[in-house]
Amino acid sequence: MAEGDHHQLTNPALSPPPPLLDPNPNPDPITPTQLQNGHEAPGKLEISPKSEEFMEAKLLKQKFEMLKSLDRNSRRRSPRLVENGGGESSGNTANSGKPPLKKQKSGRKISFFIGDRVPPDEARRRWPWRYEENNVHFSGQNNIGHASKCENDDDDEDQLILNIKCHYSQAKVANVVFNLGDCAYIKGPKRGPNYIGRILEFFESEDGEDYCRVQWFFRAQDTVIKDDGISHDEKRLFYSTLMNDNLLDCIVSKVKVVQSAPNVSLKGRPIPECDFYFDMKYSVDYSTFSKVITDTTDLPSPSPPMMTTGIDTDIKCIVDEASNSGLCKPELALLDMYAGCGGMSTGLCFGAKASGINLVTRWAVDMDEAACESLRFNHPETQIRNESAEDFLDLLKEWDRLSKIYANHEVKELKPRVREVDEDKNLKADGKRNHEYEVDKLVDICYGDPTETGKRGIKFQVRWIGYSSKDDTWEPIENLGKCQERIQDFVLKGIKAKILPRPGEVDVICGGPPCQGISGYNRFRNVDSPLDDERNRQIKIFMDIVDFLRPKYILMENVIDILRFANGCLGRYAISRLVHMHYQARLGIMAAGCYGLPQFRLRVFLWGAHPHEILPQFPLPTHNVVIQYGFPSEFERNVVAYDEGQSRDLEKVIVLGDAISDLPPVGNDEIHDNMPYKKSPETEFQKYIRASESDMMGSSSSCTSTCNNPVLYDHLPYPLGNDDYLRICKIPKRKGASFRDLPGIVIGSDNSVRRAEEQSLMPSGKPWVPEYAISFRDGRSTKPFGRLWWDETVATVFCFPDHHSRPILHPEQDRVLTLRECARLQGFPDYYKFCGKLKERYRQVGNAVAVSVSRSLGYSLGMAVQKLSSDKHLMTLPPKFSHSTTIQLKSPSSDI
């Protein structure tokens, strides 16, 4: 939306516009590397506007013309191969060209069919659509490889050849015989590698042309990974169900492609002798890498069974090994990296519990001390580490080493054990202490430099005999040479208590590694090499932790800029790392408003799953949403949304009034952290957000949804200075009000603001409108000192209620939104309390993953764990899921 535009657009389906299609027929053979390219779409989510939402004629005309343009391409594109391959344009990649699809020149043919024709009856049975009467154009990829009738001839890059004369079972190319099912090199671009595919059909058209139908394999560079594919094994391919028709003379030579079982263990299995191998399937939708299911009954009938001549099944792909091992574990262990105050892990645990899975946050790591205090208050059972992710990774490695030393066998040749002596025995005859202190016990462990000595390493927190906990010190392990049994006692107890995870002990790792180097507020971003920027290093550390611990599932969250900045380099890197470790992967873009919150908040989520597990799906929206801004057009097929024309039953948009109208009024100078509710909940959202923790978790506690939290936490605003408070008191209490309603300014014909000639001043002598408000966005913005309204939503909850640059004023009270109001917009239940200074608490809420979004993902995770989800990309949540507690979802008698 343009600056200063208060009109918001409701998009019932959140169905993104597809890229514009090339109207020119493409006669060339279409190949997997070309799938990534497409014309730029406007990159907006705005579709299906309601005319009453536009009050200005000029704005109405502008948006209507844009939406008309998008509507012409409103179908979500099926996996198509378009003219230029593998990049933004044909000049951006070595795989941009294609061999010409044209008639053979006169002379001796080097490619032709051999043997008898396939009998007509058999051919019609195997390929009936080729011979149907009154054929119309078909789309070879409309439903993932199955030829089906195309309703729109504009998208004709992959028209099915229909004027068929006959089929063959064999062909000879350059004196080499090819059979159906053989794998082959297919002509690639000039000075580029040949493509690789599997031959599904040989047929001759009525006009005498010889064709073959090819099912494609992807190289890593041909997928969403792009340039980072260079780090992958050059012999590794990715199976796909993408196929199309090509002239027979595009075949170059035979290749041997074998299937190998994916393996995430540190010791890789040997690959048999071959030209290439594949162990995963790639789909362009949601950039999905998934295990190959050997059951081909659902594959299109033009494709013979996957394991036939040309593809050697050296190792049978393991599909449901985990499901054969018995029931699910009674409890799954979660590690929350970059945990903040716990929004992501809290929501995941809520959602998993609603699905029937007990997911427990065993460990959490964050550098923010106040955020860790919030975690401890709300999750007392969690092992919380207040340290950097780098130090945590080094600690994990040292802890695993110590565990192997002290737990697997007894320590030999121990030095004399430190004697346990009384306080009096540590005194000399004259009453003074000995200079040699004796260790009572070890109470904690870390890796780093907690005492700022300049030396990083493994350190123990030591409790000394005769001293209290306030006298504990951090000592390097080298200084505890005489305390081997003390170390052993600590390690053995730590292993039993699982104070730190070891490889194989973590079921789920979640986290949102910060990437400050791509922030739009950063003027010194490294566009050429974002991964070399120290501020973007955390995404590497996160993946290194995954690599070390090897969990069953991974969920990474991040801002949308990881797909916008530098051609999505960081997002592609994250996918590449998972796939390189042989994890399945799926990337989606989700809007918080689609899951019952009054804010838009677009975020990127990346699932990872062990190849023996089901890759979790993305949950489809439950609510209509008010669109606030767009997404990267290159990743429009990653937006979690209903397809155009797909049946959906969405609830109405949740607006500000739905979320906060029941909260008691407070002033700008409110100082009380706790206060009673003064009104009963007025909406379903308010009933849900007031629910107790036992209801959210579905526990068997006697406290039900009728026993809500009697105390309201954190309902106080960040106090404004005297001048700003006087300013907001003059902002009218109406929709769209802002600094433009203050005295002393004039609004020009171009909608820009300038100072009036005659100025009225505040009691402090300052102008009513500060200079930064006038100069913001060249004076055309309406955001400074903007007042929200009950029927509106917010774009995003930020880390600070900055009324200088965005609308954050309460509709009817002269203050910014309180901490609790912001927490509600993020989906935090009212019982969730935040710790630290008020500014620190605002930051925790703004940095958090919206709880309602992570809850929906937790449900999806739980279904995957129980093998109850399919291999489709998306799933539907239960009715009324977003505003129903686990207790309500479990109770068949609940009116939800």
Instruction: Indicate whether 566 and 609 sit together in one domain.
Output: yes
Q: What is the pLDDT of residue 373?
A: 98
Instruction: Indicate whether 408 and 265 sit together in one domain.
Output: no
Q: Which residue has the higher pLDDT, 196 or 296?
A: 196
Both tokens assigned to 838: 């008020």
Of 28-32, 203-207, 211-215, 347-351, where does mean pLDDT reach its minimum? 28-32
Both tokens assigned to 576: 């590449």
Residue 76 in this model has a pLDDT that exceeds 90: no
Residue 491 in this model has a pLDDT that exceeds 50: yes
In a domain, 776, yes or no: no
Tell me which of 515, 569, 594, 822 is the catalytic residue.
515
C-beta of residue 797 within 8 angstroms of C-beta of residue 750: no
* Local confidence band at 291 (pLDDT 50, 70, 90 cut-offs): very high
Q: Which residue has the higher pLDDT, 852 or 629?
A: 852
With tokens 């925790």, the residue in question is 844
Mean pLDDT of the chain: 81
Q: What is the DSSP string of 575-627?
A: HHHHHHTT-EEEEEEEEGGGGT-SB--EEEEEEEE-TTSPPPPEEPP-B-EEE
Q: Which of 69-78, 107-116, 148-157, 741-750 has the highest mean pLDDT?
A: 741-750
Which residue, 745, 706, 701, 748, is CA-closest to 727? 745
With left for phi above 0 and alpha for psi between -120 and 50, is residue 111 left, alpha or beta? Answer: beta
Q: What is the pLDDT of residue 161?
A: 86
Q: What CATH number does the domain containing 117 carry?
A: 2.30.30.490
Question: Of 319, 354, 381, which closes a domain?
Answer: 319
Q: What is the pLDDT of residue 520?
A: 57
In a domain, 297, yes or no: yes
Residues in the chain: 896
Q: What is the pLDDT of residue 266?
A: 54
Q: What is the pLDDT of residue 269?
A: 67
**Cross-strand bridge partners of residue 184:** 197, 254
Q: What is the pLDDT of residue 261?
A: 85
Q: What is the pLDDT of residue 192?
A: 87
Q: Which residue has the higher pLDDT, 449 or 30?
A: 449
Q: What is the pLDDT of residue 80?
A: 25
Segment 457-468 mean pLDDT = 94
- Domain hosting 529: range is 332-389+504-645+856-868+884-890
- Cα distance between residue 158 and residue 244, in whole Å: 6
* Local confidence band at 268 (pLDDT 50, 70, 90 cut-offs): low
Question: Of 451, 480, 497, which closes a domain?
Answer: 497
Q: Which amino acid is at 322?
A: A
Q: What CATH number does the domain containing 400 carry?
A: 2.40.50.40
Q: Which amino acid is at 370?
A: A
Instruction: Indicate whether 415 and 445 sit together in one domain.
Output: yes
Segment 502-545, tens digit of pLDDT: 999 999 999 999 987 766 555 556 666 667 777 789 999 999 99
Q: What CATH number does the domain containing 549 carry?
A: 3.40.50.150
Instruction: Indicate whether 133 and 179 sit together in one domain.
Output: yes
- Kind and range of the H or E element at 626? strand 625-627
Pairing label, strands 508-511, 332-337: parallel
Instruction: Indicate whether 547 and 604 sit together in one domain.
Output: yes
Residue 451 in this model has a pLDDT that exceeds 80: yes
Instruction: Indicate whether 434 and 297 sit together in one domain.
Output: no
Both tokens assigned to 207: 């006009």
Pairing label, strands 236-247, 251-254: unpaired
Instruction: Indicate whether 382 and 528 sit together in one domain.
Output: yes
Q: For residue 556, how many C-alpha atoms fall within 13 Å in the half-sphere facing its CB?
A: 29
* Local confidence band at 258 (pLDDT 50, 70, 90 cut-offs): very high
Q: What is the pLDDT of residue 334?
A: 98
C-beta of residue 690 within 8 angstroms of C-beta of residue 663: no
Q: What is the pLDDT of residue 773?
A: 94
- Cα distance between residue 783 and residue 865, in whole Å: 45
Instruction: Indicate whether 550 and 492 sit together in one domain.
Output: no
Which residue, 269, 274, 215, is CA-closest to 239? 215
Residue 388 in this model has a pLDDT that exceeds 90: yes
In a domain, 784, yes or no: no
Q: What is the DSSP string of 96-122?
A: -------PPPSS--SEEEEEEEPPHHH
Q: What is the pLDDT of residue 326?
A: 42
Q: Which residue has the higher pLDDT, 863 or 71?
A: 863
Segment 18-24 mean pLDDT = 31
Q: What is the pLDDT of residue 231?
A: 92
Q: What is the pLDDT of residue 457?
A: 95
Q: What is the pLDDT of residue 314?
A: 35
Segment 26-57, tens digit of pLDDT: 334 444 444 444 333 333 333 333 333 333 44
Residue 417 in this model has a pLDDT that exceeds 60: no
Instruction: Indicate whether 353 and 425 sit together in one domain.
Output: no
* Local confidence band at 747 (pLDDT 50, 70, 90 cut-offs): very high
Q: What is the pLDDT of residue 88?
A: 31
**For a pLDDT cut of 70, what percent of the chain falls above it?**
74
Count of structural domains within the chain: 3
Residue 288 in this model has a pLDDT that exceeds 60: yes
Residue 95 in this model has a pLDDT that exceeds 60: no
In a domain, 396, yes or no: yes
Residue 612 burial (CB count, 10 A): 20
Segment 746-755 mean pLDDT = 91
Local structure of residue 591 (DSSP, 8 states): E
Q: For residue 883, how many C-alpha atoms fall within 13 Å in the half-sphere facing its CB?
A: 24
Q: Which residue has the higher pLDDT, 403 or 159?
A: 403
- Kind and range of the H or E element at 730? helix 722-730
C-beta of residue 47 within 8 angstroms of C-beta of residue 78: no
Q: What is the pLDDT of residue 409?
A: 57
- Cα distance between residue 52 and residue 870, in whole Å: 41
Segment 338-353 mean pLDDT = 98
Q: What is the pLDDT of residue 133?
A: 60
Instruction: Indicate whether 196 and 212 sit together in one domain.
Output: yes
C-beta of residue 785 within 8 angstroms of C-beta of residue 742: yes
Segment 313-331, tens digit of pLDDT: 333 333 333 444 445 577 9
Residue 165 in this model has a pLDDT that exceeds 70: yes
Q: Is 762 helix (H, G, I), strand (E, B) or coil?
A: coil
Find the distance separating the first CA and the last CA of the chain, reported in whole Å: 35
In a domain, 765, yes or no: no
Of 10-24, 565-579, 657-671, where does mean pLDDT reach its minimum? 10-24
Of 219-228, 425-434, 560-569, where does mean pLDDT reach its minimum? 425-434
Q: What is the pLDDT of residue 30?
A: 44
In a domain, 86, yes or no: no
Q: What is the pLDDT of residue 386?
A: 97
In a domain, 244, yes or no: yes
In a domain, 182, yes or no: yes
* Local confidence band at 733 (pLDDT 50, 70, 90 cut-offs): very high
Residue 892 in this model has a pLDDT that exceeds 70: no
Q: What is the pLDDT of residue 881?
A: 96
Instruction: Indicate whether 157 and 263 sit together in one domain.
Output: yes
* Local confidence band at 308 (pLDDT 50, 70, 90 cut-offs): very low
Residue 267 burial (CB count, 10 A): 5
Residue 182 in this model has a pLDDT that exceeds 90: yes
- Cα distance between residue 366 and residue 372, in whole Å: 7
Q: Which residue has the higher pLDDT, 22 or 259?
A: 259
Q: Is 257 helix (H, G, I), strand (E, B) or coil?
A: strand
Question: Of 457, 480, 497, which closes a domain?
Answer: 497
Q: For residue 767, how many C-alpha atoms fall within 13 Å in the half-sphere facing its CB?
A: 17
Q: What is the pLDDT of residue 31?
A: 47
Q: Which of 408-422, 513-527, 726-740, 766-780 has the highest mean pLDDT?
A: 726-740
Q: What is the pLDDT of residue 184?
A: 97
Segment 225-249, tens digit of pLDDT: 999 999 999 999 999 999 999 999 9
Q: What is the pLDDT of residue 134?
A: 46
Q: What is the pLDDT of residue 418?
A: 38
Instruction: Indicate whether 215 and 308 sit together in one domain.
Output: yes
Segment 97-154, tens digit of pLDDT: 333 343 444 457 889 999 999 999 999 999 998 887 645 444 433 332 333 322 333 3
* Local confidence band at 174 (pLDDT 50, 70, 90 cut-offs): very high
In Å, what is the CA distance from 868 to each residue of 282, 615, 652?
22, 11, 29
Both tokens assigned to 86: 């593998």
Segment 611-626 mean pLDDT = 95
Q: What is the pLDDT of residue 631?
A: 84
Active site residue 274: no
